[in-house]
Structure 1
Amino acid sequence: MALSQENWQPRQDNMTAPNESSLATLVMRLRAATGISVLESKAVLEPLSEQHRLLYVERFERGAPWFYASLLFDPIEVDPEYSDLIEAIRLEARNKLDAGELGDAQRGRTARMWGWMKQELKARHNITWRTPWEMSPWIALD
Structure 2
Amino acid sequence: MLVRLLYCSRAVDTSPEAIESILQQSRNHNPVTGITGILCYGGDIFLQAIEGGRMQVSELFATISKDPRHKDVALLLYEEIFERRFGGWSMGTVNLTKLNHSILLKYSEKPELDPYAVSGKVSFALLEDLMATANICGRA
TM-score (structure 2 length as normaliser):
0.29
Give the structure with the higher percent strand.
2
Q: In terms of Rg, which structure is larger?
A: 1
- Relative contact order (alpha carbons < 8 A, sep ≥ 6): 1 or 2 greater? 2
Taking structure 1 as the reference length, the TM-score comes to 0.29
